[in-house]
Chain A
Amino acid sequence: MPEKAIITMENVSTVYEGESRPAIKGINLTINQNELVYVVGPNASGKTTLLETVNGLLPPFKGKVTVFGLDIQKNGKKIRCQIGYVPQDFMVKPGEPYRAIDVVLMGRYGHIGFLKQPTEEDKQKALDAMKLIGIEDLADRPMGKLSGGQQQKVMLARALAKKPKILLLDEPFSNLDPDSRGQIPLLITKLHDEQDLTTMIVTHDIHHMLEHCNRVIVVTGGKVTFDGTPEQALPLVENHPHTTSLKEEHHH
């Protein structure tokens, strides 16, 4: 089967609002259908900016991002309905008036359409996503009362409830307890394969990376400094238990 490009970035540079220094610069990247890509790199190297440029939350000041062959800046609303997104370090404060099931159901809102209310089917899909992650018993609990790991699972369920074609996960396992850290990446990999998803996972934690993904991208100083298979990435990371120690000289 010929490889089908799902995400393409052509010479893309993005700056955060109010800043003049580009967070990512001159990125050229093609992500094909059913690729599971781990994006690694030091702190503040531009990994999050890369993901937010892919889903169009940050407009590039240079270059073009296309998803499913469409310009994300012109078709953002339509495309984002197909992208399950988990932001980095997302935490709801105690006392906030949102139940876990409400938050998961929000993942379906893009599909429901203007002036329409969620149907029973939408609610069922939200519950199914919670079951899949193993948190259905948390459905009626207020988000603010959940632990960091539980909240992270709710955000994953929210992304999955959408029935996305693309998953963009920004440090999705960072707050999970050790057991879940073993299970959840496996689950994501399984879903990725079963549902023919295209997945980009930003992570600091490279321990699971090599066994789960089929492509590794290293972002350093806003540029892609390595792009290859996990096997190729192995010599690069095995001497560096933490990606923060990845240096510029480790070019592909």
Chain B
Amino acid sequence: MIWLEFAIMQRALIGCVLAGFLMGLIGVFVVRMRLSAIGYSMSHGAFAGAALGVATATNPLATGLLFASGTALVIGPIADKARLHADTITSIVFPLNMALAFVFLTLAPEVGLSSQVANVLWGSIISMTNSDLLYLTTLFAVTLAVVYFVWKELFAIMFNRKLAEADGINTKPFVYLIIFLAGVVITFSLKLVGGLLIYALLFNPASTVLQFSENMRKVVIASPLVGMATTVTGLFVSLFFDLPVGSCIVIVSTIVFGVALLLSPKRRRKEENEK
């Protein structure tokens, strides 16, 4: 069985740990800074880009990153100024990126619905290379350093961007830093989970942890751990039942969120208050 092949298994496991951690961490900022529409759009931008990479036999990482950043550059300023509602942005950009992705995937006839295409769609553990792991490790270090050093600015912006400005923080560079980091993290995690499902990994861990904690520091520590735990569990479920890894990770993370919702002390207290 494939999961007995040690090197592949090891790479997949490390990939899951790193991608799960990073998506869980950056997801907190994306969710709390109300950048979900951008995150969602970038995820599918990265998907369309990766599809172009496959179709043109170039590096899907590079094209994915290009499309994710392109999407952010176009949507970022629009969302930033709140000229368009988040729902409008996602409703327009999601189908566009999907349409582009499917066009790209059918562009090269010899590619067809090959395993490479399947990887881009719903992820694959065997696609993780040593260089992918190196990128993810670098990204891990960079993201941790960013969060540590500019935590107070990010914290204030998450609380309220306008008030952060009123307190003398120039918020724009920090918001764009998070958008950029999210784009990179999404792109480098795409291989594992696939372009159709990647955004779930961005939102589910943060949303899960936010059901419990009333202290943002704890949220920022717990969300990456939840992200990591769900990707690793999803990986094992995928290996055990021989199912696509991306789907398994998303199903696991959705179940975890559902359980969190049921157990959430916040919700219970709210109901008690309403009685």
Interface residues of chain A, those whose CB is within 8 Å of chain B, are 17-18, 55, 57, 76-81, 83, 85, 87, 90, 94-99, 102-103, 106-107, 109-112, 114-115, 117-118, 142, 144-145, 162
Find the residue from A18, A94, A97, A162 having the highest chain B CB count within 10 A. A97
Q: B216 touching A97 by the CB < 8 A rule?
A: yes
Q: A117 touching B152 by the CB < 8 A rule?
A: yes
B210 (CB) vs chain A CBs: closest residue: A97
Contacts A18-B83, A102-B155, A112-B152 given; 10 further ones with Cβ under 8 A? A78-B168, A80-B166, A80-B168, A85-B166, A90-B163, A94-B270, A98-B214, A107-B167, A109-B156, A117-B152
Residue B1 is within 8 A (CB to CB) of chain A in the complex? no
CB distance from A184 to the nearest CB of B (A): 20
Q: Which residues of A have CB within 8 Å of B166? A: 55, 57, 80, 83, 85, 87
Q: Which residues of A have CB within 8 Å of B135? A: none
Q: Which residues of A have CB within 8 Å of B156? A: 106, 109
Please encode chain B, from 211 to 225, with 1 for each CB lying within 8 Å of some chain A CB and 0 for all others: 001111011000000
Question: Given the complex of chains A and B, what is the CA–CA distance between A95 and B153 in angstroms?
Answer: 21
Name the 7 nearest CB pairs between A and B, nearest first. Answer: A110-B168, A81-B168, A142-B214, A95-B266, A80-B168, A97-B216, A85-B166
Please encode chain B, from 191 to 233, with 1 for each CB lying within 8 Å of some chain A CB and 0 for all others: 0000000000000000000100111101100000000000000
Q: B214 touching A97 by the CB < 8 A rule?
A: yes
CB distance from B95 to the nearest CB of A (A): 26
Chain B interface bracket (under 10, 10 to 19, 20 to 34, 35 or more): 20 to 34
Question: Given the complex of chains A and B, what is the CA–CA distance between A98 and B154 in angstroms?
Answer: 13
A-B contacts, 28 listed (Cβ < 8 Å): A17-B82, A17-B83, A57-B165, A76-B165, A78-B168, A81-B168, A85-B167, A87-B162, A87-B166, A94-B266, A94-B269, A94-B270, A95-B214, A97-B210, A97-B214, A97-B215, A97-B216, A97-B219, A99-B215, A103-B159, A106-B152, A106-B159, A107-B167, A109-B168, A110-B169, A112-B152, A115-B150, A142-B214
Question: Given the complex of chains A and B, what is the CA–CA distance between A85 and B169 in angstroms?
Answer: 13
Q: A95 touching B219 by the CB < 8 A rule?
A: no
B214 (CB) vs chain A CBs: closest residue: A142
Q: B216 touching A98 by the CB < 8 A rule?
A: yes
Residue B170 is within 8 A (CB to CB) of chain A in the complex? yes
Q: B83 touching A77 by the CB < 8 A rule?
A: no
Question: Given the complex of chains A and B, what is the CA–CA distance between A78 and B81 in angstroms?
Answer: 23
CB distance from A162 to the nearest CB of B (A): 7
CB distance from A48 to the nearest CB of B (A): 12
CB distance from A120 to the nearest CB of B (A): 15
Q: Which residues of B have CB within 8 Å of A102? A: 155, 159, 216
B211 (CB) vs chain A CBs: closest residue: A95
Residue B241 is within 8 A (CB to CB) of chain A in the complex? no
A85 (CB) vs chain B CBs: closest residue: B166
Q: B270 touching A95 by the CB < 8 A rule?
A: yes
CB distance from B216 to the nearest CB of A (A): 4
Q: B152 touching A118 by the CB < 8 A rule?
A: yes
A55 (CB) vs chain B CBs: closest residue: B166
Question: Given the complex of chains A and B, what is the CA–CA distance between A83 and B162 in angstroms?
Answer: 14
Q: Which residues of B have CB within 8 Å of A79? A: 168
Find the residue from B150, B162, B168, B269 having the highest chain A CB count within 10 A. B168
Taking a contact as CB atoms closer than 8 A, the residue among B83, B149, B167, B213 that contacts A81 in the complex is: B167
Question: Given the complex of chains A and B, what is the CA–CA distance between A118 and B156 in angstroms?
Answer: 13
Q: A80 touching B165 by the CB < 8 A rule?
A: yes
Question: Given the complex of chains A and B, what is the CA–CA distance between A191 and B105 in angstroms?
Answer: 67
Q: Which residues of A have CB within 8 Å of B111? A: none
CB distance from B106 to the nearest CB of A (A): 41
Question: Given the complex of chains A and B, what is the CA–CA distance between A81 and B169 in angstroms?
Answer: 8
Q: Which residues of B have CB within 8 Å of A142? A: 214-215
Q: B163 touching A110 by the CB < 8 A rule?
A: no
Question: Given the complex of chains A and B, what is the CA–CA distance between A142 and B273 in angstroms?
Answer: 16
